[in-house]
Chains A and B, each alone.
Chain A
């Protein structure tokens, strides 16, 4: 497998992990909205589903993107595909 194919395979795996986490917090948990709302876990005292829609999922997305960017940069570095300064 060429260097570029290996790079793409790692990139694709990272995509799948990222999308799996994204799926859980944008779609997965809301399948159980009514059940979660009754949960005794109440972040800052808010009902659980309500909190996820107000803050929880939103904050997780922000963190997820920065984590993804960091991991992708590592993959690019590993294969020497990082852009050099001033290269357009």
Chain B
């Protein structure tokens, strides 16, 4: 069926794969009609998709460094866009974002703007230049541009702190989904998730991760869009929800006025299970100050442009030109999901709130709601809760609680869609969390194996030995991440936001100025990375421990402090120390034009 090289047949291969996946969904739908239990459907969906990813991972195994580190630099533009979109859209985007918008409204939509606007910075400031550099990892660029092991090692530290914070959140998300879909305890599910992640990346490194990420993107986008369109059509809101939900948005505002936002007493709230939230913020009105909105958006944008697992995806394209275009495709594929998240939040909320819809529960009797099948399921999983605080027997807006991540997972069931859709959504969430975790674990282990082991500790290591070290580190980091994830220190969305702030604190200016400011030198970069990371972290610790903070900078936007310190210290230290030598200046000149040889060789 497939002749010639794999790369030349990509549209065909993934076309067949997509068709096969759709057939699988239909088979599951038929099985559901024939009486297959909801639990079995969930298990089939998750197990089937994970096995496919593992198969792709095994087929992509490699023994070459350029295939392992940068997928042989032959990933075509559009496919790299899909892989980046999967790499980027994590469990947080898939599972938690619509829930965040649902509960917090406008204030959280800064994340939508920030997580897309950052790509403009990636395309214009960094990606094409780093591609021209020809590095394997982000610290590889820092180490070569500024020179010296100290700069390289500082970059590894920042990368590890940011990516590790992020990866625990992703392993947490795979654990959450695996525990719901496979019905196993969370602290075991975390390791099941980890095992699936390692199967995709261990044998083939970047090459395997690339081709599984494309497969995962296809699953996650189908799983996200299908319910949005289906629910919208089901409740008669319009066949294309993105352009047609204005009436529903207005209706929610009207219902909010009617029901009112009643503040619950502390004693009442104490009975609500930990981590669940009630609807307390208006859906569409501007409920955050300009600074609160903008500061969060700025942190997410600068963080996007400094997160190594995203940047390294653009090392895999065949040329500088394709790297640039590939950023556009990445954002296009991300846009498809992000523009749907607020629509999903709207549909989910109207389904629950509108008493004229069959699915509405607010304003209905508490006893009736407690008798609903889906309520009992999600309540048992500790993701939903109702209580008759005022004892009037009717469910009020302030008496309904749900976990943020349940909005995406539970909405199909609430809206009365067949269970096969819920199974599909679970598979999509799993794909989103796995693809990001893969990218992150690989970013960390590549930095440690290439930059620390090969470049600093043992520059004479043979290829085979380097790749063994890389794989051992991959497994170790995965296990460390899973162990910390099992402790559940911070929620999924919170840890993800922290990761962006860490990355922005330490890496944003050293990366950008490395290309755009010739005068930047090694002492400046080291000062920028370390002081930025330290000051950002110190601010976070201070605010976490009851510090009042300043300028309205919260624990979610501490990157502003870190990046400012980083910028100032980098400029000051660069200017009081000697300018970079002529060879370095020449190197920066060469990076700035697309033609000619890459700075680092094909295999290094």
Q: Does B604 contact A (CB under 8 A)?
A: no
Bound: A61/B114 CA distance, A: 11
Assess whether A83 is in contact with B301, with CB atoms less than 8 Å apart: no
Chain B residues within 8 Å of A52, by CB: 113
> Using a CB-CB cutoff of 8 Å, which residues 553-597 of chain B contact chain A?
589, 592-597
Q: Which A residues touch B134, using CB under 8 A?
A: 88
Q: Would B246 and A83 count as touching, CB distance under 8 A?
A: no
Would B246 and A62 count as touching, CB distance under 8 A? no
Q: What are some 9 contacts across the A-B interface (CB < 8 A)?
A: A8-B592, A31-B294, A32-B290, A33-B106, A33-B288, A46-B246, A54-B339, A58-B335, A68-B124
Q: How far is the CA of A70 from the CA of B483 in the complex (A)?
A: 46
> Among the listed stretches B257-265, B323-331, B496-504, which one makes contact with chain A, having 4 or more residues with CB under 8 Å of it?
B323-331
**A41-81: contact bitstring with B at CB < 8 Å (1 yes, 0 no)?**
01011110110111101110110111011001100100111
The reply to whether A59 and B324 form a contact with Cβ atoms under 8 Å apart is no
Whole-angstrom CA separation of A54 from B327 in the bound complex = 20
Query: Contact: B593 with A27, CB < 8 Å?
Result: no
Q: Is the interface on chain B under 10, 10 to 19, 20 to 34, or 35 or more residues?
A: 35 or more
> In the complex, are the beta carbons of A18 and B342 less than 8 A apart?
no
Q: Could you mark each residue 13-50 of chain A with 1 if its beta carbon is under 8 Å from any beta carbon of chain B, else 0?
A: 01100110010011100111110010000101111011
Interface string of B398-431 (1 = CB under 8 A from A): 0000000000000000000000000000000000
Q: A53-B342, A83-B321, A88-B134 are in contact. List 13 more A-B contacts (CB 8 A).
A: A11-B592, A22-B121, A27-B297, A33-B290, A33-B293, A52-B113, A54-B339, A59-B335, A62-B335, A68-B123, A82-B321, A82-B594, A87-B597
Task: Evaluate contact between B328 and A66: CB separation under 8 angstroms.
Answer: yes
Which residues of the partner chain B approach A26 to less than 8 Å between Cβ atoms? 113-114, 117, 120, 297, 301
Complex A-B, nearest 10 residue pairs according to Cβ-Cβ distance, in ascending order = A45-B246, A26-B117, A53-B109, A65-B328, A81-B593, A54-B342, A22-B120, A66-B328, A69-B324, A33-B286
- The secondary structure that dominates the B interface is helix
Known: A50-B284, A54-B342, A58-B338. A72 touches B324 (CB 8 A): yes
Whether B244 is near chain A, meaning CB under 8 Å from some CB there, is: yes
Knowing A83-B595, A84-B595, say if A58 contacts B113 (CB, 8 Å).
Answer: yes
A54 partner residues in chain B, CB cutoff 8 A: 109, 112, 339, 342-343
Inside 8 A of B331's CB, which chain A residues have their CB?
Answer: 61-62, 65
CB distance from A57 to the nearest CB of B (A): 5
B-chain residues with CB within 8 Å of residue A34 when the two chains form the complex: 286
Residue of B nearest to A58 (CB): B116
Pick the contact of A18: B112, B124, B288 (CB < 8 A): B124
Is residue B473 within 8 Å, beta carbon to beta carbon, of the partner chain?
no
With A46-B249, A50-B106, A62-B335 known as contacts, the answer to whether A69 contacts B117 (CB < 8 A) is no
Asked if B462 is at the interface (CB within 8 A of a chain A CB), the reply is no
Verify A73–B321 contact, CB threshold 8 A: yes
* Residue of B with least CB distance to A31: B290
Complex CA gap A26/B73 in Å reads 32
Q: Which of B243, B293, B592, B602 contacts A88 (CB 8 A)?
A: B602
Judged by a CB distance under 8 angstroms, whether B298 is at the interface is yes
Task: Determine the chain B residues whose CB is within 8 A of the CB of A22 once the complex forms.
Answer: 117, 120-121, 124
Whole-angstrom distance between the alpha carbons of A46 and B106 in the complex?
A: 13
A33, A37, A68, A76: the one contacting B594 at CB < 8 Å is A76
